Structure 1
Amino acid sequence: MVLPLVVGVDGSESSLRAVDWATDEAALRDVPLRLVYASLWERYEGAALAEGLGRSSEQVMADDIVEAAARRAHRRAPDVKVTTDVLPDDAVSVLSNEAHTAAALVVGSRGRGGLAELLLGSVSLAIAGRAACPVIVLRGSHDNQARAGRHRRVVLGVGEGPHGTAATRFAFEEAEVRKATLDAVRAWRCPAYESTDHPLLTGEPARLHEQRAVEILESALSTAAAEHPAVDLRRRTAEGSARRVLLDASDEADLLVVGVQRHHGHSGHVGFQLGRVAHTVLHHSACPVAVVPQRG
């Protein structure tokens, strides 16, 4: 079964931009597009009462929103199959459930209720930390226009540990369908306590940390690089914090990909640990950000 790209829509300019971006992505991947709107009117009124009263103004608005979004997607890519749904629940619950049968979720950086000065909407941030599939948050291009890849460049932030495996595969697949360069970046830093003033040892700790970054990069990329030989892969290590290195790289990228690690909460709930790097790029990236969970 071909899984769809799912877009959370709410009528905001940010969500319409997400529809545009996801429509282009669905055309590239040759997958269906599913547009969903979360509505609580039926939960509050009760299904039986709602049927007796006819369609509420909230339901009419919800239907209008998804229908307008579907028309927008069809105009942009007539060959993409589009389905719509209005679901009686809050946005985070709706999108979290949709994630189990989606190739990826696409959301705007903030919804109808968000103030322009807010860095990232609460729904977008919550979904990025909960969804069981990749989540693409539409950062950058704040004139609400989703443009085709101008830079032909996908950036992958390479971390440590196995939780980056899914993100690496996702980044290679995105670079391949876009015919874009994949810029795989590993940041490194030399802790201050390892520095020395001894002239014979100057630079040695830094060299060791840089070499370790090179080794991590090679280990993380080797399997996926062999599986995607057509991808133009560029490996790069950079001194500095991962947050700053990735934000700088996002300035000339069409997509920034980072991985997140599964964790178990105190209540037994399974979620994903965004971490400081993911939080930072979600709030400040100059391009769309794909947050990819490690499954299994």
Structure 2
Amino acid sequence: MNSTQSEAPIVVGIDGSQAAINAAVWAADFAVDRGVPLRLVHVVTVDEEDTDLDEDPSDLAADWPETEFGRTALRVASAAVHATGKLIAVDTEILWGETDAMLLTESASATMVCVGSVGVTPFCERTLGSTATTVAQQAHCPVAVIRLDNDLPTLESEWIVTVVDSSRAGNTVATWALEAACLLRAPVLALGVAPSEPCGIDGYELERRVASWRKQYPHLHIYPVACDDDVAGFLRDHDELAAQLAVIGDTHVKRAAQIVGPYRQSRDTHNWCSVLVVR
């Protein structure tokens, strides 16, 4: 992957939570693999009414407690990345503005944007929105919403689940899923969208694509599964499945919140599935 990638960084939103630190450590593997820097950003909210038209928000908020908190959060996240021993360039920066808008701006010049998540509450998704959901749906680059717990280490046997359909982005989604599986040393479950659904494919086409991928990635275990439901429904109905990452395209992006799942205290592995939206 290194030879085809630009120097556009992988951007991680850092809010001081353990979820964000986990996302930074997860993203570091991808940054190293792609030969790009890791950029950690913390957004300090500055409302328009707090500033004059000619006033720089960074000057206004330079001494705010929120800004000092952000500097500390970035130091902690950066230290966690360096503690892995990975040889990687890590850039940190405080941004001032509205969190969703700042991350969407960052996405315009990024290889990927990563955010951590402890789950999406129904209230947040319905009335307030969540940063993870908004960025996943509107970013200009791929977005990873990482739901990990340090007490539940990712196992090499946990699945990468990806959607296989006839959409324009289908091949790009597959490439990201297969390369993620190589990096994470994980098997791939390829879910073929039913022909009756938009962008669906039949069983023959699903088998043909999987056979092609097996030739390209002979060391990967790739299993085709014809699916009458979307990936969120499949994961819900197969809660015995240990899935660490679901890789989807824009066609299925509205299901990202359901894949990540609601905030809850259960320790079951299937409650901690991350999602990568490819575009």
TM-score (norm 1): 0.72
Q: Does 1:135 align with 2:143?
A: yes
Q: Which amino acid aligns with 1:232?
A: H
Query: CA 1:249–1:290 in structure 2 vs 1: closer, same or farther (change >3 Å)?
Result: farther
RMSD: 3.6
Q: Secondary structure at the match of 1:88?
A: strand
Are residues 1:217 and 2:206 paired? yes
Per the alignment, residue 286 of structure 1 pairs with: 272
2:245 maps to which of 219, 232, 255: 255
Give the equivalent residue in structure 2 for 1:243: 232
Q: Distance in 1 between matches of 2:201 and 2:70?
A: 52
Q: Which residue of 2 aligns with 1:99?
A: 107
Pair 1:150–1:39, CA change in 2 (3 A): same
**Secondary structure in 2 matching 1:7:** strand
Instruction: Output the CA distance in 1 between the equivalents of 2:90 and 2:44.
Output: 20
Contact residue 166 and residue 201 of structure 2 kept, 8 A = no
Query: Shift of the alpha carbon at 1:255?
Result: 1.4
Larger Rg: 1
Amino acid corresponding to residue 173 of structure 2 in structure 1: A
Q: Deviations over 1:27-62 (max 9, x none)?
A: 454432110111234963464696489633232222
Normalization by structure 2: what TM-score? Answer: 0.75
**Following superposition of structure 1 onto structure 2, how do residues 132-211 of structure 1 map, counting pairs within 5 Å?**
132-139=140-147, 141=148, 143=149, 145=151, 147-188=153-194
Q: Is the 8 A contact 1:6 1:34 kept in 2?
A: yes
Residue 184 (structure 1) shift: 0.8
Map 1:25-104; keep pairs closer than 5 Å.
Answer: 25-41=30-46, 44-45=50-51, 47=55, 51=59, 55-104=63-112
1:207 alignment partner in structure 2: none
Structure 2 stretches of 5 or more lacking a match? 1-5, 263-270
Give the counterpart letter for 2:259 in structure 1.
V
Q: Which amino acid aligns with 2:111?
A: A
Deviations 1:145-172 (A, max 9, x none): 5734432531112234223222111111
Q: After the TM superposition, which of the residue ranges 162-171 and 283-292 deviates more from structure 2?
A: 283-292
Structure 1: 5+ residue runs without aligned partners? 192-210, 262-272
CA contact (8 A) 2:45 2:99 kept: no
> In the TM superposition, what whole-angstrom CA distance separates every residue of 1:167-205 from its partner, at most 9, and x where no partner exists?
1111111112233222211254989xxxxxxxxxxxxxx
- Number of equivalent positions: 258
SS of the residue 1:180 aligns to: coil
- 1:245-271 deviation line (CA, Å, top 9, x unaligned): 24437831221111114xxxxxxxxxx
Structure 1 contact 6–98 (Cα < 8 Å) conserved: yes
Q: Which moved more, 1:28-37 or 1:144-153?
A: 144-153
Q: Is the 8 A contact 2:163 2:248 kept in 1?
A: yes
Q: 1:70 to 1:215 in 2, by over 3 A?
A: same
